[in-house]
Structure 1
Amino acid sequence: MLESAATSFASIVMVGIGFGIAGYGYHHYYKTLVLRKMTIAFEPGDPVLELAAMSRSVPKHIAGNALDPHFEHPAGKGSGSESSDADGDNLDYTDTDTDNDNDDDAGDDGRGHYWIRRPEQELVNGIVSGLTIGHYHLFIGEKGTGKSSMQLDAMAQIDAEGVAMFDAHADLEIFRIRLGKALNYEFNEDYIGGYFSERGPRETTALLDIERALNKLEKVAVNRRNATRPGVRRRPLVIIVNQMHLIRDDEDGRDLIELLQQRAEQWAASGLVTMVFNSDDYWVYERFKQLAARLEVHSIQDLSRHQAMETLKRYRWRHFGERVSDDLASDIYERVGGRLTFLNRVVRSMDMLWTCRRIMEAEKMWFLGQCWILGGDMDDDVMDQQKWAAAAMVLAQALVDKEAEEWESKKQEAAEASEAAKAQGSKKTNAALSQPSGAPHRTWLPSVSLHEAQQIQTRADFIREMDRRNLFTIDSHAQVRASSVPMQWALREICEMPGFRDHLDATVQRISDIESLGRTRELVAKDLVLGGHYELSSGKKDGGGNSGSGSKTEVHFRGWSPHERPSRDPPEPGSGKTT
């Protein structure tokens, strides 16, 4: 028995020691494996670039013959985004077209590249390639202005080496999954040791998982820097978080933004990681501004007139083989501006002007559906919504009036300049009327400052929600304007409707009347004896529940008997009595 017990005990001890050594070794191996997998995520190549390359493809037969000036493009046979050969089979696509050349390349003639290089591209290239360090960046601009496209182009130039990009989401669990996918991190969900341990409180929330993922990322960045050979430039890792405005403006969302900003501040100071955030809404900038020390804000606006016209010409020739005239391109720019998302829809259409009208009407219907006013006959149940709608219409009217005033001022200045030129004997053109002199190369839209917009609306909480719904936009300089050129056209059309001002005034008056009725209280005095009175007093109570000092009003009600009731007849002339 003793021998058997000793043998069994020795076997158990050896097995326990073996399991302990194996578990300890696996634990350290797993931690090393996690760092190795995350390091692989920053090697050249990224799934985001593959998806972007597919979206920018063009038919091979068009790309191969577009440089031939005698080539007849099969325009009218398809939409331009997908073509078929004589047998009906889909043709292959190529994605060899990039916009790395300058816009003024000799001999290009608008046939080589259909994307225009934006002036901000050099800045984005420096950030994504790791040449710009010491700061983290926030790109603000309306949807469709090309923020993500510029970053994808910069990633393509370095084959996404050292760069990871993902989209934010309102749900923290989905945000956690997307962050893990971008970093190639499983959040210890594939850890075998979890079968032998209980789930602890540290694994209960998505925010804690995000913190742990950022801790691993910091270790990867440190190892990457230590592995860099002496004399070689140490490039930081780059994390791009797209669509930050999708995060909810609630307690969880603010905690997430605070967590990301704290890491961005630390990593920017040390040069380990450069974080880049993209947002369409102004409230994200307000949250960053409170704790920002190394933040750089970049406002991405629409293309200028020249850039938009060149983009339209190149893209149209690339897909349809059609040479667009300057007058047509200028007309399209006046209708939809330099917004890339609108230009993309226009150039892919067979009838570009019809598509422009569709875009303008869609913006108008969106604005009317969100905030149309109901007039003086509206029911009091919709007052809260009508407050919001009336505030939007009042701001729209103010922007339209300001546009008219500035336009008249510009015409007067142009007329004075023309008269001065005639007096000097030189000929001047009125081309200056197309754009204000203060912003000759940008889409001109009337704007007011944020505090002025709040004063116009008499509310401070409406304008940010309107920014989220793309009715108005707030740029990084706290200037409020219409969200786009088609939206400004929609505001102008709405405010020029017959009887609109009276309709707006009636709505505002009806809202005021309903609020006045809500603040009015009716008192009914009953069962008063002859000569009785009510005593009305108002005051505040102190902490002990005692009434504090306040005003007191005594209201006396007098009564008359039927024989003592005063006469309702008017006094006789000359009697000296008054009623």
Structure 2
Amino acid sequence: MVVRCLKCRVLRIELAANGVQGNGDSSVNAASGSNPHYGSSSQNDPQSLWTKMLEAAATAFASILVLGTGFATGGYMYHRFYKWLVLHKMERAFQPGDPVLELAAIGKEVPNSIAPCKEQEGDEHWILRDEQAKIDAIVDGTDRGHYHLLIGEKGTGKSSMLLDAMKKVEGEGISMFEAHADLEIFRIRLGRALNFEFHEDYIGSYFSERGPRDSTALLDIERAFNKLEKIALLRRKTVGKPLVLIVNAFHLLRDDEDGRDLIELIQQRAEQWAASNLVTVVFNSDDYWVYERLKVLATRMEVTAIADLPKSQAMSALAKYRQKYFQEAPPSETLAEVYSRVGGRLTFLNRVAKSKDMLRTCDDIIDTERRWFLNQCWILGAEMDDDVMDQQKYASAAMVLAHALVNAEKNLPPRPPDDDGSHNIPKIPLHIARQIMTRADFIQQYDHINLFAITSTAHVRADSVPMQRAFRRICAEPGFEEHLEATLQRINDIESLGRTREIVAKDLVLGGKYNFITKDGASWGEKVTEVSLEEKAEEAEEKKVDEGDGNEES
């Protein structure tokens, strides 16, 4: 039946279950024949059903194939692009120009290099050290095949020489960063220096990128070194020089398990890179304990000790500085007195050179060092409380060592006639210093807070000339030796009380005695001590009477 809807203009065809009713076409009836369910045979045909299923499966498979190929291609392209981008970014970190140089140049009035010399650019130098040529060769890649440890007291100019060497080559092929005790901060600073973000480089990052804090700091540092090694291989093929990685203030790492693991990790890489001329690693340290840790595994390490300037060099540089910036020519006696008070330490010479009254500034420096030492290690005498026992052990050991250095200064041999007058600070071998203090663990802490210095040859001395003068003043005070002896005696008394145990035998109050008899034990060679109580006769009689009275009552 055909029904036309005038509003919707939709043709609806309704077929009856038994054929076409009404005025249907006779051809339709003829085609249907005697089968009342026309068209159902084609729908129920198994061959037609399988055909439709195969068509649907082929369509689904083609869709999955297209989508999978698209995602796989995209992921692979992302993976390749990520690897290229990481290496490209790290390669840019070693191009000319370094953030460390920019930070060092801000607010810097005079460069740290020597008076009579001038650079090709025309910059005048303040103090040039003899070790500068070696540092230049290390930084510009000429000196290769080793990794280096620069060791010296704070303020001797180690970092300044490294910055000067970097400035000469504009930081090309060099990366420098500051160490830190916390491994996470160390990892971040290393990543910043290498321009590496520590993201995981695997194809899963295409869908979900893993954060940089999902792994340990040591693992991230190892991955950063793997990328650095690839950059170094490319540079060796193109430039022919190794990269230079400078770790400044390496002594700030803690001497614990984590710190030792990090040192071992970096040293293993440094040994491998030095052997293959890939990367030259430079460690800059103020403390001796770093050298002790590195020496265990060191085969290609070179140690460069940075000490104070000699007298002639320090006086010449100081005179030229005063002439340039103050238009004065100080007499040689004044310059010699300045050197005798503060020595050739660059950090002190800088302060003195910029001061109007140089000698007064020298006295201020000495007084500052003296107060620093007293604030850290002053002793409390015989009246000290036992609650400060541990701190006073630390302080008294430092005072004993300072007193030994002052006495050693008095026994120094006379200077030869050709001596230039440079300071000869008394020093004691490290093992003797520990014997004097009767402690082996305190000396590393003294070195860390700049009270005493341990040289690269394992000798202990005052951290600087002003500190040695501070020792001299303290030990020369009236009654110092008696005060030190009273403190040591008080420490011994407190320790003795701690080791003493009081035993009270109540049986001896009435006049009894103990008998100690040593006999042979059950086994051969064994000795057994028997203890028995010997009572007085009166007590024994009273005891028998008491026992007899008890029997009668019973």
Do 1:387 and 1:511's aligned partners in 2 also have CA atoms closer than 8 Å?
Answer: yes
* Counterpart residue number, 2:462: 482
Structure 1 Cα separation of the partners of residues 154 and 462 of structure 2:
13
Structure 2 Cα separation of the partners of residues 57 and 473 of structure 1:
30
Residue 48, structure 1, aligned to residue 54, structure 2: no
Do 2:175 and 2:193's aligned partners in 1 also have CA atoms closer than 8 Å?
Answer: yes
Amino acid at match of 1:38: M
Which of 252, 276, 291 lines up with 2:258 in the alignment? 252
Structure 1 Cα separation of the partners of residues 252 and 286 of structure 2:
9
- Closer/same/farther in 2, CA of residues 548 and 336 from structure 1, 3 Å limit: farther
Structure 1 window deviating more from structure 2 (246-255 vs 512-521): it is: 512-521
* Counterpart residue number, 2:443: 463
The residue matched to 2:268 in structure 1 has which SS?
helix
Do 2:93 and 2:195's aligned partners in 1 also have CA atoms closer than 8 Å?
Answer: yes
Residue 494, structure 1, aligned to residue 500, structure 2: no
Residue 264, structure 1, aligned to residue 270, structure 2: yes
Which of 371, 376, 395 lines up with 2:377 in the alignment? 371
Q: How does 1:184-263 map to 2 (within 5 A)?
A: 184-188=195-199, 193-194=204-205, 196-197=207-208, 203-228=214-239, 234-263=240-269
Structure 2 Cα separation of the partners of residues 346 and 516 of structure 1:
50
Structure 1 Cα separation of the partners of residues 113 and 376 of structure 2:
39
Structure 2 Cα separation of the partners of residues 103 and 223 of structure 1:
37
Structure 2 Cα separation of the partners of residues 101 and 347 of structure 1:
13
Structure 1 Cα separation of the partners of residues 118 and 237 of structure 2:
43
Structure 1 window deviating more from structure 2 (506-515 vs 7-16): it is: 7-16
Do 1:38 and 1:183's aligned partners in 2 also have CA atoms closer than 8 Å?
Answer: yes
- Closer/same/farther in 2, CA of residues 549 and 441 from structure 1, 3 Å limit: farther
Which of 315, 319, 325 lines up with 1:313 in the alignment? 319
* Counterpart residue number, 1:74: none
Shift of 1:114: 4.5
Which of 333, 344, 350 lines up with 2:339 in the alignment? 333
Do 2:321 and 2:353's aligned partners in 1 also have CA atoms closer than 8 Å?
Answer: yes
The residue matched to 2:282 in structure 1 has which SS?
strand
Structure 2 Cα separation of the partners of residues 41 and 121 of structure 1:
25
Misfit runs of 4+, over 6 Å: 189-192, 528-532, 534-537, 547-550
Which of 415, 422, 428 lines up with 1:448 in the alignment? 428
The Cα offsets for residues 122-153 of structure 1, whole Å up to 9 and x where unpaired, read as 11111111111111110100011000111111
- Closer/same/farther in 2, CA of residues 551 and 445 from structure 1, 3 Å limit: farther
Q: Which of the pair has more CA radius of gyration?
A: 2
- Closer/same/farther in 2, CA of residues 15 and 316 from structure 1, 3 Å limit: farther
Which of 340, 356, 366 lines up with 1:360 in the alignment? 366
% identity of equivalent residues: 60
Do 1:134 and 1:269's aligned partners in 2 also have CA atoms closer than 8 Å?
Answer: yes
Which of 170, 173, 177 lines up with 1:159 in the alignment? 170
Shift of 1:320: 3.3
Do 1:114 and 1:314's aligned partners in 2 also have CA atoms closer than 8 Å?
Answer: no
Structure 2 Cα separation of the partners of residues 348 and 101 of structure 1:
15
Shift of 1:442: 4.2
The residue matched to 2:468 in structure 1 has which SS?
helix
* Counterpart residue number, 1:23: 75
Structure 2 Cα separation of the partners of residues 40 and 17 of structure 1:
34
Do 2:114 and 2:125's aligned partners in 1 also have CA atoms closer than 8 Å?
Answer: no
Structure 2 Cα separation of the partners of residues 251 and 359 of structure 1:
37
For structure 2, list consecutive stretches of 5 or more residues without a partner in the other structure. 1-51, 541-554
- Closer/same/farther in 2, CA of residues 202 and 364 from structure 1, 3 Å limit: closer
Structure 1 window deviating more from structure 2 (219-228 vs 189-198): it is: 189-198
The Cα offsets for residues 452-477 of structure 1, whole Å up to 9 and x where unpaired, read as 10111111111111111111000100
Structure 1 window deviating more from structure 2 (152-161 vs 309-318): it is: 309-318
Structure 1 Cα separation of the partners of residues 409 and 78 of structure 2:
69
* Counterpart residue number, 1:560: 536
Structure 2 Cα separation of the partners of residues 189 and 442 of structure 1:
56
Structure 1 Cα separation of the partners of residues 458 and 95 of structure 2:
39
> Aligned-residue CA RMSD in angstroms?
3.1
Structure 2 Cα separation of the partners of residues 191 and 308 of structure 1:
57
Structure 2 Cα separation of the partners of residues 377 and 350 of structure 1:
45
Which of 10, 16, 28 lines up with 2:62 in the alignment? 10
Q: How does 1:385-464 map to 2 (within 5 A)?
A: 385-406=391-412, 409-410=413-414, 432=417, 437=419, 440=420, 442-464=422-444
- Closer/same/farther in 2, CA of residues 35 and 16 from structure 1, 3 Å limit: same
Question: What's the TM-score, normalizing by structure 1?
Answer: 0.77
Q: How does 1:124-143 map to 2 (within 5 A)?
A: 124-143=135-154
Amino acid at match of 1:484: S
Shift of 1:100: 7.7
Amino acid at match of 1:289: K
The residue matched to 1:291 in structure 2 has which SS?
coil
The residue matched to 1:142 in structure 2 has which SS?
coil
* Counterpart residue number, 1:121: 132
Do 1:303 and 1:443's aligned partners in 2 also have CA atoms closer than 8 Å?
Answer: no
Amino acid at match of 1:516: S
Structure 1 Cα separation of the partners of residues 257 and 123 of structure 2:
50
Structure 1 Cα separation of the partners of residues 525 and 284 of structure 2:
56
Q: Which protein, 1 or 2, shows the higher relative CO under an 8 Å CA cutoff with sep ≥ 6?
A: 1
- Closer/same/farther in 2, CA of residues 522 and 554 from structure 1, 3 Å limit: farther
The Cα offsets for residues 41-89 of structure 1, whole Å up to 9 and x where unpaired, read as 111111111222224336xxxxxxxxxxxxxxxxxxxxxxxxxxxxxxx
Do 1:203 and 1:209's aligned partners in 2 also have CA atoms closer than 8 Å?
Answer: no
- Closer/same/farther in 2, CA of residues 448 and 560 from structure 1, 3 Å limit: same
The residue matched to 2:457 in structure 1 has which SS?
coil
Structure 2 Cα separation of the partners of residues 264 and 398 of structure 1:
40
Do 1:138 and 1:296's aligned partners in 2 also have CA atoms closer than 8 Å?
Answer: yes
Structure 1 Cα separation of the partners of residues 74 and 440 of structure 2:
63
* Counterpart residue number, 1:572: none
The residue matched to 2:106 in structure 1 has which SS?
helix
Structure 2 Cα separation of the partners of residues 321 and 530 of structure 1:
93
* Counterpart residue number, 1:94: none
Amino acid at match of 1:558: E
For structure 1, list consecutive stretches of 5 or more residues without a partner in the other structure. 59-96, 106-110, 229-233, 415-431, 538-546, 565-579
Shift of 1:5: 5.9
Shift of 1:536: 10
Shift of 1:525: 1.0
Structure 2 Cα separation of the partners of residues 307 and 505 of structure 1:
42
The residue matched to 2:244 in structure 1 has which SS?
strand
Structure 1 window deviating more from structure 2 (349-358 vs 39-48): it is: 349-358
Do 1:302 and 1:338's aligned partners in 2 also have CA atoms closer than 8 Å?
Answer: yes
Do 1:114 and 1:315's aligned partners in 2 also have CA atoms closer than 8 Å?
Answer: no
